[in-house]
Amino acid sequence: MLAGGAEAQDWRTLRERMLAEIDATYAETRAETGLAAMSPRVRAAMAKVERHRFVGPAERPLAYRNHPLPIGHGQTISQPYIVALSTDLVAPEPHHVVLEVGTGSGYQAAVLAEIVKRVYTIELLEPLARQAAARLAELGYGNVEVRVGDGYAGWPEKAPFDAIVVTAAAPAIPQALVEQLKPGGRMVIPVGGAGDIQRLVLLAKAADGTVTRRNVLPVRFVPLVPGK
């Protein structure tokens, strides 16, 4: 298995390079995000999850560039920096139960699953949900559950969540998601309509239920499509 071993080593080298690019982007955006560097937890997850397994063969050579990539059905796997930042912003802890909206390739779910106890993730498009679920199972992520559905409604049966990560842009923050966040919880969500400048918003729910929000960064995500 010399060739296989060598290949794994090559991917690891590319992943290290990706981490360096993410580090550089954290440094550039420090004033806006308030985060100087990836937390050790998020860095370890980003170093471990094999992004090349979450894209098709044509995109594989580009898997460790700090860019979004197409995943079919008009959707994209987010830029690695944005995945790291979104994960850091919700301050994940090992005992957390997290909701992701917009499963896509399953990559963000895998990064979260490396850190937290359990991840529930919702995808509107059935073929993407099915593919992500199969991929995550094959990679051994037994702590991720994928469901086909409309993320605007959240996943009330599994609520409340310690954190919510939304990976598609909504014109406004869906109230159902705010309600499904635990007191003390955090949600990260790109907010803005089609054609608008979107903002990555960090919402925090205090122990008394009071909600505060902060605009973190201008971003560009695919839209959170209203479900039927």
Query: Which residues bind to ligand SAH, rule: CB under 6 A?
Result: 75-78, 101-102, 104-105, 107-108, 122-125, 128, 150-152, 167-168, 222, 224-225, 227
- Residues 39, 78, 86, 105: which is the catalytic one? 78
CA-to-CA distance for 11 and 155, rounded, in angstroms?
A: 35
- Is there a catalytic annotation at residue 86? no
Q: Kind of pairing, strands 97-101 and 144-148? A: unpaired
- By DSSP bridging, strand 97-101 and strand 161-166 are parallel
Distances (CA, A) of 171 to 84, 168, 218: 23, 10, 14
Smallest separation (angstroms) from ligand SAH to the CB of 153: 8
The least distance separating ligand SAH from the CB of residue 5, rounded to whole angstroms, comes to: 28
Does the bond joining 94 to the residue before it have cis omega, within 30 degrees of 0? no
Closest distance of CB 43 from ligand SAH, Å:
18
Smallest distance, ligand SAH to C-beta of residue 184, A: 24
Q: Which of 3, 10, 169 is nearest to 86 (CA)?
A: 169
Q: Which of residues 26 and 152 has its CB atom nearest to ligand SAH in the complex?
A: 152
DSSP per-residue string spanning 135-173: HHHHTT-TTEEEEES-GGG--GGG--EEEEEE-SBBSS-
- Is the CB of 141 or the CB of 183 nearer to ligand SAH? 141
In angstroms, give the least distance from the CB of 1 to ligand SAH.
Answer: 29
Q: If DSSP codes are grouped into helix, strand and coil, which group holds residue 213?
A: strand
206 DSSP β-pair partners: none
Please give the C-alpha separations between residue 121 and each of 79, 110, 118, 223, in angstroms, as whole numbers: 18, 10, 10, 17
Residues assigned a catalytic role: 78
